[in-house]
Chains A and B, each alone.
Chain A
Amino acid sequence: MKKRLLSILIPLCLSVSLFAQDSLPKKEQKVFVKGYVKDLLTVFPSPFNNSIFFNNLIHNRFNFKYYPNNNITVGLEIRNQFYFGDLVSPSFAESIDRNNDVFDLSASVGGEDNWVFNSMIDRLYFEYVKNKFEIKIGRQRINWGINTIWNPNDIFNTYSYLDFDYEERPGSDAIRIQYYKSISSSFEFAFKTSKEIKNLVAALMWKKNKWKYDFQFSAGVAKADAYVGGGWAGNINKAGFKGEFGYFHPYQNLADTIGTLSMSISAEYSFKKPIFLIASVLFNSSGETKNSNVDIFTYQLSAKELSPYKYSLFLTGSYKFTELISGSLSTIYSPGKDLLFVNPTFTMSLKDNLDLDVVMQSAFADVAGEYKNTAIYYFTRIKLSF
């Protein structure tokens, strides 16, 4: 069944893309297609012995939008991944074939012999807009974050540090209703469905622009927790000043449980020389301080637990070496655990739609009294956008 789905999807993508680009006159274009093909090579040494692992991912994305009229948008986005290399195993194949939500819109072939192909629809929605009112039904990304690095209000989404290649992030099977009361104020309700009640997310959001700040307040149910949150984006003098907080409390046994406060504040400043700095701090009241053995690379982030640790500090600086080459160095430090995450990146524009990235991710921590490198990953990525 899944193979059949794939065999239908791929020719469909190709034919729609040809149709969209060639058959419609530009003025009346109703179908839009864009996407990319990326090749991501991952190299990492084994933490146990001297061997080195290689893994290659060919990652393709098609984004379709269909506008039958000015009020309706239909969106379909498909992500195809072909992995081969040392990482691939039947359990790996299973892990990438996992849907975020209710409907099974993904299919895989392979898994044995060090390769696997997976195709997933991560956006599939119908949107109706009438004046100040918008309703969007289907698989969609609901991105409620307003802060730069950590987003305790992003309650509809989870992701992993390591997966920087999936910038779009998974979609949610959801209904989202937005009402723009005025240019500076809007209300929103979103409901993410799930097969299990404990995974439902439903919340209201109010956004307001005042005193040159964007403010937002939200409240609802986020999985097993009652949730209230808020955030702002503004500036102090010329520096960006943003923040976000969320309080999560299990709604069952309310009196007998303790809640989690997740809070982050950040500042960003861009110098006239091409240097851009972002500093951020995250507090997770339920986070570990010491003796935690969480692997930061496999840790699944959620709005409630953006870091496994109580305190996290983030600092990144990016610099433009030449007009086509830029680099950045990001670090995250968690004081109690003394964990340091280091993430240098280089980006180069090869052509208008061709980019090269070289990325390293590495972690240092105290292991049995010795402070040492616990993991290191090297990535090379080529991206062709179309």
Chain B
Amino acid sequence: MRLGFIGGTCKNLKIGVLPKMMIVVFFGVLVSSSVFAQNPTEIIRKAEDKLQGNSNFAEISMTIVRPDWSREMTMKSWSKGTDLSLILVTSPARDKGTAFLKRSKEMWNWQASIERVIKLPPSMMMQSWMGSDFTNDDLVKESSTINDYNHKMLSDSTIDGRICYQIELIPKEDAPVVWGKLLLWIDKADYIQMMSKMYDEDGYLVNTMRGYDIKEIGGRTLPTKLEMIPADEEGHKTVIEYKSMEFDIDIADEFFSIQNMKRVR
């Protein structure tokens, strides 16, 4: 799985006991894709595909930064298509061994300390993982930036010296999405999502996500560091870093099973 830009927000990140909804960010921000031409939909598809692959494995660290404190956690994640995902928390020590499995629209949590599989109710995923605004809808419907929005090409702009397509996404009527508008900046040369801005239904900016440290990882040129910055909270941000990534790995559907969720390491 690849954390993408679209739909991500991280107001109120919560630390503490790793909540059952930790998946939210990961499945929520998940993006998928494929490529073609200069129509905005195809550009988004291509950028998303680059992040996801048919399947992938990643080692990720996530740091929540606040004016007075910060917290870090690390995890491994595997995904295949948009239906199958498995995440294993590797630190902090308190939460190490906790795992999350998603198969289609169902989710389970393995609590290693009490040796118990917990099926997560949809409303629990509606609540954010670590305070983010992801909802269950983001999660299970994977509110698709391709299908749930109308796309409009705006004028190009430059970010960190890279010329980017700027695309506006307005939700389709009755689309199950939380945003009023999204703006995406996608690098023309490498189809890298350089920045995204998320606006609420009243048009106010809620979050900005930025990609940094573009380099080759898992054989693809991608930003290896993402920052999610809430608009109205001074000194708050969440930093996601990819330690390693592999794409199009050979992984069986059975890998994404309750049996394996308990054993994966």
Is A290 among interface residues, defined by CB-CB distance under 8 A? no
In-complex Cβ contact of B127 among A214, A272, A383 (8 A): A272
In-complex Cβ contact of B121 among A270, A325, A348 (8 A): A270
Residues of A within 8 A of B232 (CB): none
Q: Which of A346-372 contact B (CB under 8 A)?
A: 347-349, 352-353, 355
Determine whether the beta carbon of B115 is less than 8 Å from that of A269: no
Residues of B within 8 A of A169 (CB): 114
Q: How large is the interface on B (under 10, 10 to 19, 20 to 34, 35 or more residues)?
A: 35 or more
In-complex Cβ contact of B119 among A32, A34, A240, A349 (8 A): A240
Determine whether the beta carbon of B123 is less than 8 Å from that of A238: yes
In-complex Cβ contact of B93 among A34, A134, A237 (8 A): A34
What separation, in Å, do the CA atoms of A383 and B113 have in the docked complex? 14
What separation, in Å, do the CA atoms of A214 and B66 have in the docked complex? 39
Chain A residue with minimal CB distance to B105? A212
A-B complex: 7 closest residue pairs judged by Cβ atoms: A240-B121, A238-B123, A385-B94, A233-B119, A385-B93, A270-B127, A270-B124
Determine whether the beta carbon of B121 is less than 8 Å from that of A239: yes
Chain A residue with minimal CB distance to B133? A272
Is A141 among interface residues, defined by CB-CB distance under 8 A? yes
Residues of B within 8 A of A5 (CB): none
Determine whether the beta carbon of A323 is less than 8 Å from that of B121: no
Q: Which A residues are within 8 Å of any B CB, using their own CB?
A: 32, 34, 36, 67, 73, 129, 132, 134, 141, 143, 145-146, 148, 167-169, 178, 180, 183, 186, 209, 212, 214, 233-235, 237-242, 268-272, 274, 276, 320, 323-326, 347-349, 352-353, 355, 383, 385-386
Determine whether the beta carbon of A268 is less than 8 Å from that of B124: yes
Residues of B within 8 A of A270 (CB): 21, 121, 123-127
A183 and B14 in contact (CB under 8 A), knowing A238-B122, A323-B66? Answer: no
What separation, in Å, do the CA atoms of A386 and B96 have in the docked complex? 10
Residues of A within 8 A of B125 (CB): 270
What separation, in Å, do the CA atoms of A209 and B258 have in the docked complex? 11
Determine whether the beta carbon of A324 is less than 8 Å from that of B122: no
Chain A residue with minimal CB distance to B253? A183
In-complex Cβ contact of B113 among A73, A167, A269, A326 (8 A): A167
A323 and B13 in contact (CB under 8 A), knowing A34-B96, A272-B126, A353-B94? Answer: yes
What is the minimal beta-carbon distance from B110 to any residue of chain A, in angstroms? 11
Is B254 among interface residues, defined by CB-CB distance under 8 A? yes
Chain A residue with minimal CB distance to B236? A323
Determine whether the beta carbon of A269 is less than 8 Å from that of B121: yes
Determine whether the beta carbon of A32 is less than 8 Å from that of B122: no
Is B220 among interface residues, defined by CB-CB distance under 8 A? no
What separation, in Å, do the CA atoms of A276 and B14 have in the docked complex? 14
Residues of B within 8 A of A178 (CB): 259
Determine whether the beta carbon of B72 is less than 8 Å from that of A352: yes
What is the minimal beta-carbon distance from B142 to any residue of chain A, in angstroms? 17
Determine whether the beta carbon of A268 is less than 8 Å from that of B93: no
A sample of 12 cross-chain residue pairs with beta-carbon separation below 8 angstroms, ordered by A number, consists of A34-B96, A180-B258, A180-B259, A238-B121, A240-B124, A242-B119, A268-B123, A272-B135, A323-B15, A323-B66, A355-B16, A385-B92
